[in-house]
Copies of this chain bind each other. A is one copy, B any other.
Amino acid sequence: MARRRIVIALGGNALLKRGEPMTVANQRENVRIAARAIAPVTADNDLVISHGNGPQVGLLALQAAASGQHTPLDVLGAETEGMIGYMIEQELGNLVPFERPFATMLTMVEVEPNDPAFQNPTKPIGPMYTREQAALLSKEKGWTVAEDGAGWRRVVPSPLPKRIFEMRPIKWLLEHSTIVICAGGGGIPTMYRPDGTLAGAEVVIDKDRASAVLAREVGADLFVMATDVPGVYADWGTSKHRLLRRTTPAELRALRFASGSMGPKVEAAIAFVEETGRRAAIGSLEEIERIVAGEAGTIVEPE
């Protein structure tokens, strides 16, 4: 098969599994598992890897708070791009020939100050709490909290990514078949001040949405979202639920998804496929090699 340009977005939950203690050792072990899954597709493809940071950005926020400090979400996002990007570069680097170049790049992403998401925080970050803990934290820290699966979590605004600032360097590196790790955590959230200078924003951008922008901008042949489920299910929660193997933006639009995790993935897949006429895929991290070969996951194709 001809060499392809592939963007793989690694789910934050794939890197730190739900319920696992947020230790560096656990994160590294999960990154190692992800690296093993990705390594087989490195040889014949040009690769861009992005990743989530929901659990990690919340963890670093708590660490700062435990020292009596406030670190804004843009700076925390930058810290997580360092922490997670490093582990991915090192662990994947241990599995591919030394000659293959790697670059992990900090990525600033622009959001609009008037994005309605600022009024409606939806993105869960940090650890799970009980309902009582969450209510207390909301009162003490002014957090917005919301249910997320079996527990409660802090939620922050998640405005739409409008632009990735470092696109030219990313493309130059891809021309040399560099494996580029970027747009971690959806990118470092930034927005323009009225005076025209760029500043950080106290939000977390959805990494699947940002990765769709990234995949479009690098001209990806395939955009893969790797998560902890085998793909997109129709009729989920009913006895008739079935994995969609091949689908289209139109078919996906007719289905309903929870706003939590699968919703943004489906939306990102639709956006990429409609804007580029190329394919997107959603599936399990362990099956990346088969997803890239078109043999697993949910493949979203143009009509």
Residues of B within 8 A of A82 (CB): 78-83, 85, 106
Docked-complex contact B86 and A108, CB < 8 angstroms: yes
A43 within 8 A of B: no
Do A105 and B108 form a contact, CB below 8 Å, given A67-B63, A86-B188, A172-B172?
Answer: no
Cβ of A169 < 8 Å from any Cβ of B? yes
In the complex the two chains form, is A190's CB within 8 Å of B106's CB?
no
CA distance A218 to B175 in the complex (A): 20
In the bound complex, how far is the Cα of B106 from the Cα of A106, in angstroms?
8
- A197 partner residues in chain B, CB cutoff 8 A: 94
- Chain B binder among A7-15, A68-76, A230-238, A295-303: A68-76
**Which residues, 17 to 72 on A, are CB-close (under 8 Å) to B?**
22-24, 59-60, 62-64, 66-67, 69-72
Q: Is the CB of A67 within 8 A of B69?
A: no
How far is it, in angstroms, between the C-alpha of A4 and the C-alpha of B249 when the chains are bound? 51
For A71, what are the chain B residues with a Cβ–Cβ distance below 8 Å?
A: 24
On whether the beta carbons of B75 and A89 are closer than 8 Å, the reply is no
Interface-side segment among A96-104, A203-211, A255-263: A96-104
| Interface range, A side | 35 or more
Q: Hey, which chain B residues are within 8 Å of A69, CB to CB? A: 22-24, 63
User: In the complex, are the beta carbons of B24 and A72 less than 8 A apart?
Assistant: yes
For chain A, residues 257 to 278, give those with C-beta under 8 angstroms from any C-beta of chain B: none
Residues of B with C-beta under 8 A to A94 = 197-198
Which of A24, A72, A86, A93 has the largest count of B CB atoms less than 10 A from its CB? A86
Assess the B90–A79 pair: CB atoms within 8 A: no
A168 within 8 A of B: yes
A176 CB–B CB distance under 8 Å: yes
| Residue A251 lies at the interface, judged by CB distance under 8 Å to chain B | no
Cα distance A71–B62 in the bound complex, in angstroms: 14
For chain A, residues 221 to 235, give those with C-beta under 8 angstroms from any C-beta of chain B. Answer: none
Give Cα A93–Cα B64 distance, bound, in whole angstroms: 27
> Does A178 belong to the interface (CB within 8 Å)?
yes
Q: Are B103 and A169 in contact (CB under 8 A)?
A: yes
Q: Does A159 contact B (CB under 8 A)?
A: no
| Cα-based distance from A103 to B199 in the complex (angstroms) | 17
Q: Is the CB of A90 within 8 A of B169?
A: no
Closest to A101 in B: B168
CB <8 Å contact, A89 and B108: yes
Cβ B102 vs Cβ A165 within 8 A: yes
Q: Are B83 and A79 in contact (CB under 8 A)?
A: yes
16 A-B pairs besides A63-B64, A89-B108, A90-B198 with CB distance below 8 A are A24-B70, A24-B72, A24-B75, A60-B63, A63-B63, A66-B66, A75-B83, A78-B85, A86-B106, A86-B188, A89-B106, A90-B108, A90-B199, A101-B168, A102-B166, A106-B106
